[in-house]
């Protein structure tokens, strides 16, 4: 299967003032991301509050992103849910509307505690869109599925024909590299932590990734890859450290899903607030966050 080169963005879901999904900003959103070097989107995932959307809302968002995507811009649809039949339907829909690929994280309930359970879950989802590449989204901090990913690849190999790889959002670079090397690099290992892009490049195998802070800091993050490819390690290090400085700021404001979504408003693309049970930022917090970002000269370096 084709392997992803460059960074894919995990976009936020736009809501209007009444808390309904708002499709209007998506064309401008897609253009912003493409203009700043992103190669596609992974929609309806954690950054997109996917588990808090109805099945119909997820379909509407998928259709809007596919329609708005510039030429060559990949749209990967996260279809994971607590109902595997719903996930299978969403996968089928993604295939029907011309999405580039699909993905799913492990369901948060019931907790998946065995590799066989995870493979069966992914198998029943992926078969809904047999012509599309399927990515397992490994983010155990969200669902407690702390399972060995090398064992998952071994068990799924040959059983899920359209398994393309893993979006790996976890701290073990050793395991990441073991998965990357499995089967002579058979599977696409997309790094999923913006704070560790450079270490993954240095291990020699990272080609693509899916990020959340790429929504507003994509120019810096794609710059890390560009500098590495030029052999300019010092610039790559400086950009990675700057990316970590920005992440340090959003961590003080409830992380990327809450703080990061509010940054989009600060750079000119208001995507609304977050759905319950997220605690939204106050105007006072927004003002403080803006000041901290200004101290980093963020608004001269961010996506625009």
Q: Quick one: tokens of 188?
A: 């696409």
With contact defined as beta carbons under 8 Å apart, do 221 and 238 qualify? no
Which letter does DSSP use for residue 21 in this model? B
Q: Provide the 10 A C-beta neighbour count for residue 96.
A: 12
231: its two tokens: 């052999």
Q: What pairs with residue 188 in β-bridges?
A: 165
Q: Which is the catalytic residue, given 51, 135, 137, 187?
A: 137
CA–CA dist 188, 180 (Å, integer): 7
30: phi then psi, degrees, rounded to nearest 5: -60, -40
Active site residue: 167, 176, 242, 253, which one? Answer: 167
- Is 146 in the active site? no
For residue 78, list its beta bridge partners. 103
Q: How far apart are CA 164 and CA 45, in angstroms?
A: 17
Q: Is 265 a catalytic residue?
A: no
Q: Give the distance, in angstroms, between the CA of residue 39 and the centroid of all CA atoms in the same chain.
A: 12
DSSP calls for 209-237: EEESTHHHHHHHHHHHHHHHHHT-HHHHH
Beta-carbon contacts of 123 under 8 Å, excluding residues fewer than 6 positions away, are 156, 159, 160
Report whether 162 contacts 133 (CB < 8 A).
yes
Q: Which residues are catalytic?
A: 137, 167
């Amino acid at each position: 299967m084709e392997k992803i080169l460059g960074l894919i963005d995990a976009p936020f879901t736009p809501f209007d003032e009444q808390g309904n999904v708002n499709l209007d900003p998506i064309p401008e959103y897609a253009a912003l991301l493409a203009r700043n070097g992103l190669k596609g989107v992974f929609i309806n995932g954690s950054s997109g509050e996917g588990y808090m959307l109805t099945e119909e809302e997820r379909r509407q968002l998928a259709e809007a992103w596919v329609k708005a995507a510039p030429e060559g811009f990949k749209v990967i649809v996260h279809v994971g849910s607590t109902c595997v039949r719903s996930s299978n339907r969403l996968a089928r829909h993604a295939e029907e509307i011309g999405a580039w690929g699909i993905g799913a994280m492990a369901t948060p309930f019931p907790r998946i505690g065995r590799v066989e359970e995870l493979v069966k879950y992914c198998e029943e989802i992926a078969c809904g869109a047999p012509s599309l590449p399927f990515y397992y989204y490994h983010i155990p901090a969200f669902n407690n599925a702390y399972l060995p990913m090398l064992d998952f690849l071994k068990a799924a190999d040959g059983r899920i024909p359209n398994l393309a790889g893993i979006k790996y959002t976890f701290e073990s670079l050793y395991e990441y590299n073991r998965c990357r090397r499995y089967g002579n690099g058979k599977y696409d290992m997309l790094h999923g932590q913006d704070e560790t892009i450079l270490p993954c490049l240095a291990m020699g195998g990272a080609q693509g990734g899916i990020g959340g802070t790429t929504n507003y800091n994509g120019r810096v993050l794609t710059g890390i890859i560009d500098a590495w490819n030029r052999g300019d390690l010092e610039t790559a290090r400086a950009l990675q450290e700057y990316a970590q400085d920005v992440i340090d700021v959003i961590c003080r404001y409830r992380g990327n899903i809450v703080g990061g979504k509010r940054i989009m408003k600060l750079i000119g693309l208001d995507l609304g607030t977050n759905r319950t049970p997220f605690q939204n930022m106050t105007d006072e917090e927004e003002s403080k966050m803006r000041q901290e970002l200004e101290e980093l000269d963020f608004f001269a370096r961010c996506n625009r």
